[in-house]
Amino acid sequence: MNNKIRLIIADDHELFRAGLINLINQTEDLAIVDYASDGLELVNKYAAHNPNVVVSDISMPVLSGFESFKEIRKFDDHAKFLFLSMFESSEYVYYTRKIGGKGLLSKNVRINELCYGIRLIHNGLEYFGMDWTREKLDNLNEEYKNLADGVIGPDIFLTYKEKKILFYISEGFTSSEIAEEMNVSKRTIDAHRYNLMKKINASTPSQLIAFAIKFTSFKNSYSSDSNPSK
C-alpha cells in the first residue's frame, strides 16, 4: 500500500462505480482507499483519507464533482482530481482547468488510459486525453475568453431562475438533470435555455456554456446571489 497511488472513487451510479473499482483493483500500482456516492460524502471521505488522487464524476447529488473539489481545495489546495463525465467537450476541459482540476476523461475511456491518466496526475501533470496536446490546452483559455466576450456581458438583468440554470449549465448538468434538480419539466428548461441564448446574444450552445462558465467563475464580480446553489 505504501508504494501505491491511493485513490478515492466518487460516482452516484452504483453499477458504474463498482465496475470501476473492480477494474482498478486489478492494477498493481493503484489502491482504492474508499468511495463516495455523493459530493458531500466525497468531501468527508477525502478529509478522512487524504488520497493521492480522486477520480470523480461531475454530476452527483448534494454537491457536484466540481463543487466537491472547490470545498476540498479550501483545506487542501494540493488536491488532485481527475473528473469523469459523459461530456468531454472543450467547455468542460476549460472549466476543469479553470478551477484547478488536473484531468477530464469520458466515462467511456478504456481502463488502461484511465490508469495512465491517474499516474500522470499523481506526478503533477495534466491529462485530458490523447487529443489534447499541450499546444491545444495552452490555446484554450484565450479561445473561451474570446467566445464568452462575444455575448452581452454579465451586467444584463438575469432572473434568479436564470442564474440558477446558468450555474447548473456551468457544472456540466444536462437539461434533463437540471429539470430534475429544479423539479420542472425538461421542456421548461429547454425554453429557459433558448431565452437565455436570446438574452445574451448567443448563437450556439457552446457560447451559452462559455457564458455560464464565465458567469459562475467570476461571480464575485457580480451580485452576491449569482451562485444560487449556496
Residues near 90 by beta carbon (within 8 Å), at least 6 away in sequence: 140, 143, 144, 206
pLDDT band at 229; cut points 50, 70, 90:
very low
Residues near 93 by beta carbon (within 8 Å), at least 6 away in sequence: 104, 128, 132, 137, 140
For 150-155, which contacts have Cβ atoms below 8 Å and span 24 or more sequence positions? 150/201, 150/207, 151/200, 151/201, 151/202, 151/207, 151/210, 151/211, 152/199, 152/200, 152/201, 154/214, 154/215, 154/218, 154/221, 154/222
pLDDT band at 48; cut points 50, 70, 90:
very high
Q: What is the CA radius of gyration of the chain?
A: 18
Asked whether residue 55 carries a pLDDT value surpassing 60, the answer given is yes
The domains found in the chain, sorted by start residue, are: 5-132 (3.40.50.2300), 147-221 (1.10.10.10)
pTM > 0.75: no
pLDDT band at 227; cut points 50, 70, 90:
very low
60 vs 124 pLDDT, higher one: 124
Residue in this structure with the C-alpha cell 478522512, named with its chain if needed: 48
pLDDT in tens, 78-123: 999 999 987 667 778 888 888 899 999 999 999 999 999 999 999 9
The CA-CA-CA angle for residues 51, 55, 57, to 5°, reads 135
